[in-house]
């Protein structure tokens, strides 16, 4: 039975398990949920970040994992030859990771779950857990996964003595990868140089970079353990054998670690009651903290403003796929949840609005072609980026005036025309091009996906007054062939795709602009509080406080409206949200520009120098008042949506 918990420095939990009185030493903070800090979880589908978040909690002393040595004592007490409690500790730690992936908070006291499992499976105390035993242990963990099931698949090496009845990996060896909604457990055999087998060790795969892996080890679950994989041909002609080597700089060991078995544990995609997964508030904070770390990593390097480097670097915690569906490797976050991430990214640099989420790959989800959807997966992995090409030298907001044509030919179309004033073409792996099919009514555009290096495409470069680290220019299409499979949606659906995509995209740009303006105001507040003129801080001048107060209020109001608009998009009310989003694209960006301009002027000559980034903020915000819908056109669209189509018709009437 469980003894009552005391308020002493360390409490003891006692339970009779398999005829043995089990004593576990627990930290009291794990016993009262009200004392627990808010957990940091990255919900659904991003195992690397979910594990990293739990590791941070463990390092902070929150006790979300079971440490192997806590179980070793039990196993060795019951069976001195049992080897240890590695498998049992890993099983509980897998449970915590699965809960994080499924959007649940970690168990406040994982040791209680441990005692329950040991009571149900007393044979675990014998140690030497088999593949069947671990599979059963993971299956029993489903008790703590509300409305969720897990599937476990097992892949073993040909040399494994525990591989009977299981699928064995092929001649090339196993391919290790971290996938959405899936945990991979690795077991490796430990033996001496003389060949004596010491046992098996169980770890959870967190990250794969080339042939280097980072794992969650129950021996020290508060941080990564790293190995370098070495693939060797089997001297007996069997499948490739895989060894885990210590990386350079880590003390070497004379023992040999050979990969033995892979357990792939997948969280089922469906929940009862049509409940959708969603990240917790702490999950959002975790992503923001990872953005902070990436900023520190790249600051001062040539790649600081490179969107492709940012996307590749941040793929480990799921940033490029936050708003993409799980089927394409994303996390499926809602507009409301992603909004805060765009705002946070904008605090560092407005151009980081293009490193969050799927961006212009999102319209590709209207295709069911595998090759198109593979491009979306590339974006989610940080390996791809899609530029969008609509504006032309003589047409922008007037879609009926677009002159680029897509002429139907056998097997597809040939695109001829020119696009202009497009950002990040040089960084893009693919382009989403809007063109007019001649036989369709004017303005009934069709969208096509092309690789950026497609034959017949010539990229032109222009210099921009901003967009540091990003390209700017256009593209000329000279009879470029695109297959019918690369058409996104039906012929003539391009305008519909545009008006479905751009409200979402404009809203996210506004969120980034708000973050850019808010950070500028923080710099302004710090400046006027410390900069002295005529013997006292300049913050005493009320005209500076007036600007600071006005801009602070304007940006907070804009963000409140942005949250409302995001909620409307999440409900599928794109038409209802359009007027608000158009208004925000106009007034939110203008408010951010006023804030950055006030901050720059408050810094005097420094504000116009590269000692601070305020001039860059002003310049980039001036670009955004034009990009993705100019301020003036957006204001007209507010009137159109709020007061009637006749106002728009009146404005464009040419008689």
- Tokens at 282, concatenated: 């702490």
Note the pLDDT of residue 400: 84
Give yes or no for residue 172 having a pLDDT over 90.
Answer: no
User: 257-305 pLDDT, tens per residue?
Assistant: 999 999 999 887 554 333 344 555 667 888 898 899 999 999 999 999 9
Residue found under tokens 């997948």: 266
Whole-number Å distance between alpha carbons of 594 and 586: 12
Note the pLDDT of residue 17: 47
Contacts of 528 (CB under 8 A, 6+ apart): 537, 538, 539, 541, 544, 545, 548, 602
Pairing of strands 11-17, 20-26: antiparallel
Whole-number Å distance between alpha carbons of 633 and 582: 9
Measured CA distances, 395 to 392, 429, 501, 578 (Å): 5, 25, 19, 22
Instruction: Specify the CATH architecture of the domain 495-652.
Output: Up-down Bundle (1.20)
- Tokens at 619, concatenated: 């310049």
Note the pLDDT of residue 414: 97
**Tell me, what DSSP letter sits at residue 123?**
G
**CATH code for the domain defined by 386-492:** 2.40.110.10
User: 429-454 pLDDT, tens per residue?
Assistant: 999 999 999 999 988 999 999 999 99
Measured CA distances, 259 to 90, 202, 219, 229, 402 (Å): 16, 10, 18, 9, 59
- 92 in Cβ contact with 66 (< 8 Å): yes
Q: 469 or 340, which is more confident?
A: 340
User: 615-629 pLDDT, tens per residue?
Assistant: 999 999 999 999 999
Pairing of strands 487-488, 445-451: antiparallel
User: 229-266 pLDDT, tens per residue?
Assistant: 999 987 777 778 999 998 877 787 889 999 999 999 98
Give yes or no for residue 33 having a pLDDT over 60.
Answer: no
CB atoms within 10 A of CB 304: 17
Instruction: Give the H or E element holding residue 512.
Output: helix 494-530
E runs forming strands in 34-170: 150-156, 167-168
Give yes or no for residue 23 having a pLDDT over 60.
Answer: no
As a whole number, the mean pLDDT across the chain is 85
pLDDT class of 145 with cuts at 50, 70, 90: confident
Note the pLDDT of residue 282: 61
Half-sphere exposure of 48 (CA within 13 A, CB side): 22
User: 397-416 pLDDT, tens per residue?
Assistant: 888 889 999 999 999 999 99
Contacts of 512 (CB under 8 A, 6+ apart): 342, 343, 345, 346, 350, 352, 353, 356
User: 503-544 pLDDT, tens per residue?
Assistant: 999 999 999 999 999 999 999 999 999 999 999 999 999 999
Domain ranges for the chain: 11-267, 279-368, 386-492, 495-652
- Residue 178, classed as helix, strand or coil, is coil
Note the pLDDT of residue 235: 77
């Amino acid at each position: 039975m469980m003894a009552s918990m005391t308020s002493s420095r360390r409490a003891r939990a006692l339970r009779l398990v398999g005829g043995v009185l089990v004593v576990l030493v627990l930290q009291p903070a794990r016993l009262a949920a009200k004392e627990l800090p808010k957990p940091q979880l990255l919900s659904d589908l991003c195992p690397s970040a979910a594990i990293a978040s739990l590791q941070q909690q463990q390092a902070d002393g929150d006790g979300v994992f079971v440490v192997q040595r806590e179980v070793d004592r039990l196993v060795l007490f019951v069976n001195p030859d049992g080897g240890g409690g590695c498998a049992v500790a890993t099983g509980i730690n897998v449970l915590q990771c699965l809960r994080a992936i499924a959007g649940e908070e970690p168990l406040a006291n994982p040791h209680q779950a441990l005692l329950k499992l040991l009571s149900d499976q007393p044979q675990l105390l014998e140690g030497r857990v088999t593949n069947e035993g671990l599979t059963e242990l993971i299956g029993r963990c489903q008790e703590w996964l509300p409305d969720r099931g897990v599937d476990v698949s097992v892949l073993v090496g040909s040399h494994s003595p525990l591989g009977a009845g299981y699928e064995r990996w092929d001649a090339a060896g196993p391919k290790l990868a971290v996938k959405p909604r899936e945990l991979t457990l690795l077991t490796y055999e430990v033996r001496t140089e003389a060949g004596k087998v010491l046992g098996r060790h169980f770890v959870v795969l967190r990250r794969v970079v080339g042939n280097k892996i980072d794992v969650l080890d129950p021996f020290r679950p508060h941080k990564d353990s790293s190995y370098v994989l070495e693939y060797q041909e089997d001297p007996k002609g069997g499948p490739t054998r895989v060894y885990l080597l210590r990386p350079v700089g880590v003390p070497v060991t004379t023992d040999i670690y050979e990969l033995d078995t892979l357990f792939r544990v997948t969280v089922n995609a469906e929940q009862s009651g049509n409940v959708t997964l969603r990240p917790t508030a702490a999950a959002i904070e975790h992503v923001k903290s990872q953005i902070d770390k990436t900023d520190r990593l790249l600051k001062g390097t040539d790649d600081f403003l490179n969107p492709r480097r940012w996307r590749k670097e941040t793929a480990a915690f799921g940033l490029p796929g936050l708003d993409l569906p799980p089927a394409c490797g994303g996390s499926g976050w809602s507009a409301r949840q992603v909004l805060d991430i765009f705002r946070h990214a904008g605090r560092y640099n407005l151009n980081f609005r293009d490193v969050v989420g799927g961006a212009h790959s999102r319209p590709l989800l209207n295709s069911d072609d595998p090759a198109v959807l593979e491009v979306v997966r590339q974006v989610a992995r940080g390996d791809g980026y899609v530029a969008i090409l609509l504006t032309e030298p003589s047409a922008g907001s007037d879609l009926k005036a677009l002159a680029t044509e897509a002429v139907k030919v056998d097997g597809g179309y040939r695109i001829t025309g020119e696009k202009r004033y497009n950002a990040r073409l040089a960084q893009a792996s693919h382009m989403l091009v809007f063109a007019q099919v001649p036989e369709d009514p004017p303005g009934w555009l069709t969208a096509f996906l092309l690789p950026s290096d497609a034959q017949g495409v010539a990229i032109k470069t222009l210099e921009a007054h901003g967009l540091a680290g990003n390209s700017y220019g256009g593209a000329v299409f000279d009879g470029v062939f695109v297959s019918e499979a690369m058409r996104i949606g039906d012929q003539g659906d391009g305008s519909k795709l545009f008006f479905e995509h751009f409200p979402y995209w404009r809203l996210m740009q506004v969120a980034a602009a708000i973050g850019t303006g808010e950070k500028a105001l923080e710099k302004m507040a710090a400046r006027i509080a410390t900069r002295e003129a005529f013997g006292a801080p300049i913050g005493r001048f009320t005209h500076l406080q007036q600007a600071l107060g006005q801009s602070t209020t304007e940006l907070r109001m804009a963000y409140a409206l942005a949250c409302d608009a995001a909620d409307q998009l999440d409900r599928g009310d794109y038409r209802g949200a359009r007027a608000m989003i158009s208004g925000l694209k106009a007034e939110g960006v203008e408010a951010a520009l006023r804030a950055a301009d006030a901050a720059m002027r408050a810094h005097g000559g420094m504000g116009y120098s590269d000692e601070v980034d305020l001039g860059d903020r002003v310049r980039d915000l001036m670009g955004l008042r034009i990009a993705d819908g100019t301020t003036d056109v957006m204001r007209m669209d507010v009137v159109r949506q709020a007061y009637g189509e006749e106002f728009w018709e009146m404005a464009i009437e040419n008689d």
